Amino acid sequence: MAKKKKTPVIEELPPAPVRYQPITETIETNYMPYVMTVIVSRAIPEIDGFKPSHRKLLYTMYKMGLMSGPRVKSATIAGRTMAIHPHGDAGIYETMVRLTRDYEALLHPFVDSKGAFGKQYSSNMKASAPRYTEARLESFCSEIFKGIDKDAVDMVDNYDGTTVEPVLLPTTFPNVLVTPNMGIAVGMASNICPFNLAEICDGTIAMLKKPGISTNRLMELIKGPDFPGGGLLLYDAAQMRQVFETGVGPIRLRARYRYDKDANCIDILQIPYSTTIEQIIDKIADMVKSGSLKEITDFRDEIDISGFKLTLDLRKGIDPDKLMAKLFKNTPLEDNFKCNFNILIDSAPRQMGIAEILREWIVFRMGCVRRELTFDLNKKKDKLHLLEALAKVLLDIDLAIRIIRKTEKEEEVIPSLMAGFAIDEVQANYIAEIKLRHLNREYILNRIAEMENLRREIAELEAILADDLKIKAYIAAQLTEIKKKYGKPRVTQIMEAGEVKVYDEADSVENYPVKLLLTRDGYFKKIAVTPRTQFSVEDQKLKDGDTVTTVLDAENRDELVFFTDKCQVYRASIDDFDCLKAATMADYLPTKLKMDEGERPIYMELRKEYPEGENYVFVFANGKAVRVPVTNYVTKGNRRKLTGAYSDTSPIVAVFLETDKKPVDILMISSADRAILVKSTLIPLKTTRTSQGVQVMQLKKDQTVVRALVNFGESFQNVKSYRKLKIPATGILLEEKNIAIQQLKIDTD
């Protein structure tokens, strides 16, 4: 029988001591390094106009030799880039997509692409997988790499120390203002709009010549942002000055379109850079569904190989310019680009205006040029140093040959030449390495003639390096050449904001006379009135048991106000409602205006203005009433709903309107069939909407006011007996309920 194994005894370890860390220490040691990494190494561009991801990708393509030759697969480029940018090939490919010509996000793309790379103006058009697309560098990239192999910028080790990469790229133009850039860091963000390359070159040259250039002069040379998608820039001088001086402010952009008269349609050809065609289509679709856009019969995306196009088919007789003004106001066809020029300068984020950015770029570029010219200078000095030894050899070539022939050991050749011609070791090595066939007078004379050119070039380089003005002139000459070679006309056209036609909703609404009906149960009907219209309330189709309470004559452009039994006011345009025929059931107003559950309208009027001298009169079931100035119902903006319209301490019975010049007589009838008739001026005027008012009609326990009328001529002809000159007042029994009066009428008859 096998012996049972003993269960090993596991000794419990004592609990680890708890260390409490102050939140300030946690933030400093854990959070702040992350914050600085995001700001410095990911989200915010530097003075060369690139984020690290852009810079690493382009430099990898440069080292792959993609400045020339055939395109290679995008997957290959993404894989190679991971050697200095270990953030996954998917993210690298997305970065490359934005830099391509086909994506159309840049005025001057850096990547010559082949394949489906999507479009900047569409969120649905995506790039194909990197194994299907190909790319190489555009020739334009020569301007961002010029001097990189001549020590123009610092090089640092990559993340694993296997290779080196540049800290910045030595761009020969202010790429930071030519290439758009957006990034969200921690606690800060950057949003840089693109400017026209030719204009930026002009502005930079002017600043090189006159560092203290005024903002006005800079704004003359750099007219404003130039977006790849084109469109119209609505130029506001004050806002543009703010952007130029502070780097912060909105830029208003709107779409460009053309009207095809034959097809009666509008073709939208360019849209704001900050939006997409899907956002525009979704907004137009919402407006069509809500009934606020009745001018079009169809709309569709017609993007094809020729470029962007969004087509709107119009109804007959629609003014295309007025329709576009409406769409500019209500859709992303007009949008703001919010500038925030936040740039890293020496690894520290700074928010700067255009002039300050150009000054910083000039300082950066002067440093690059100095290093590049110093590199060239040293190369020329080294070459001159070698040629000076060759000149000495020219004096006695036979001596050089004899020295080499008579030297017994190879290692003694260099010292012997050094001693024989009084030259240093570097020069002696150069002489010793000259091929035998080159030891002829012609070759040596040609090399010596080269010395004069070298001395002249060295003198020129030393003169430039010794004078900042000459370095600036050197940079200006480069900018002039870049403008000549790569400059393009503006894509985004400029339009003065004051010339823009502001959309007036009233102008777009067809105006004609209408009849408006409101029923007791909350149904509303709009009927178009023509000279041939035979209008009659009795002919209108209503719900069984419902009656018409209000009839108004109006025009289609008028505005309506509805008071409800839930202490709320709703505003609506008459044009929001469709015209109905007498035989058609009316619109149910609570549904149309999205009222609260169980809420119904009790009063309707036409209202556009809220003048002084007009008051609303509210009559409540508890016999109280109050007057409130209509000015208390003015709201900021175009609010469609107002709460707290009157007191909610007692149910509302009726709402009336009076003016200083035309007070109204109000007939109040109680549940006990008693009535009083009072002038509205007897009711006090209160300054707050929710005032409970004063007692107007005296009521016994369990009695309420059930009706309040101002138009009572047909129903109540003899009302003099109900007249009261003071309030509160006790009601008089209605004539039709007074047996004595009815008996007297019978006897008289």
Write out pLDDT tens, residues 27-50. Answer: 878 888 888 888 887 889 999 999
The dihedral over CA atoms of 171, 177, 181, 184, expressed in degrees to the nearest 10, equals: 110
The number of residues in the chain equals 749
Q: What is the pLDDT of residues 692-710, one digit of tens each?
A: 999 999 999 999 999 999 8
Q: Are 574 and 506 in contact (CB under 8 A)?
A: no
Q: Are 59 and 92 in contact (CB under 8 A)?
A: no
Q: Is 436 helix (H, G, I), strand (E, B) or coil?
A: helix
Sheet holding 265-270, edge to edge: 256-260, 265-270, 310-314, 296-301
Nearest to 53 by CA among 97, 6, 1: 97
Q: Are 707 and 669 in contact (CB under 8 A)?
A: yes
Q: Give the CA count within 13 Å in the CB-facing half-sphere of 213.
A: 25
Res. 96: pLDDT tops 80: yes
DSSP 518: E
Q: Tokens 């309506």 label which residue?
A: 560
Query: Is 132 labeled as catalytic in the residue annotation?
Result: yes
Cα–Cα dist 698/731, whole Å? 7
Contacts of 294 (CB under 8 A, 6+ apart): 315
Cα–Cα dist 220/213, whole Å? 11
What domains does the chain contain, in order, with CATH numbers? 50-170 (3.90.199.10), 256-332 (3.30.1360.40), 366-485 (1.10.268.10), 509-608 (no CATH), 612-632+648-749 (2.120.10.90)
The dihedral over CA atoms of 723, 726, 727, 732, expressed in degrees to the nearest 10, equals: -30
CA–chain centroid gap for 385, Å, is 60
Nearest to 101 by CA among 89, 92, 110: 110
In the structure encoding, which two tokens stand for residue 685, read together?
């005027």
Q: Average the pLDDT over each of 211-220, 270-279, 469-478, 508-517 and give the range with the smallest value.
A: 508-517
Q: What is the pLDDT of residues 308-356, one digit of tens each?
A: 999 999 988 888 988 999 999 999 999 999 999 999 999 899 999 999 9
Which of 31, 34, 132, 159 does the annotation list as catalytic? 132
The string over 79-92, giving b where at least 16 C-beta atoms fall within 10 Å of a residue's C-beta and e elsewhere, is: ebbebbbeeebeeb
CA–chain centroid gap for 440, Å, is 72
DSSP 721: G
458 exposed, middle or buried (CB, 10 Å; 0-12, 13-18, 19+)? Answer: middle
CA-to-CA dists, residue 593 to 108, 401, 563, 565, 701, angstroms: 51, 108, 12, 14, 38
Cα–Cα dist 739/675, whole Å? 16
- Looking at residue 8, its pLDDT comes to 65
Cβ atoms < 10 Å from Cβ of 489: 7
- Residues paired with 113 in a beta bridge: 135
DSSP 263: T
- Please, which pLDDT band fits residue 365 given cuts at 50, 70 and 90? very high
- Please, which pLDDT band fits residue 531 given cuts at 50, 70 and 90? confident
Cβ atoms < 10 Å from Cβ of 720: 6
Nearest to 180 by CA among 395, 339, 389: 339
Cα–Cα dist 100/114, whole Å? 9
Res. 559: pLDDT tops 60: yes
Q: What is the pLDDT of residues 499-529, one digit of tens each?
A: 777 766 656 667 888 999 999 999 999 988 8
Give DSSP secondary structure letters for 362-378.
HHHHHHHHHHHHHHHHH
DSSP 40: I
Measured in degrees and rounded to the nearest 5, phi and psi for residue 403 equal: -60, -45
In the structure encoding, which two tokens stand for residue 111, read together?
């990547």
Q: Is 613 helix (H, G, I), strand (E, B) or coil?
A: coil
Beta strands 181-184 and 265-270, pairing class:
unpaired
- Residues paired with 666 in a beta bridge: 678
**Residue range 399-418: mean pLDDT, rounded:** 85
**In 115-168, which ranges are E strands?**
134-137, 155-157, 164-166
Cβ atoms < 10 Å from Cβ of 743: 10
Res. 743: pLDDT tops 60: no
Nearest to 422 by CA among 403, 449, 406: 403
Contacts of 720 (CB under 8 A, 6+ apart): none
**Residue range 297-304: mean pLDDT, rounded:** 93
Cα–Cα dist 727/671, whole Å? 19
Q: What is the pLDDT of residues 443-492, one digit of tens each?
A: 777 877 888 889 999 999 999 999 999 999 999 999 999 999 999 999 99
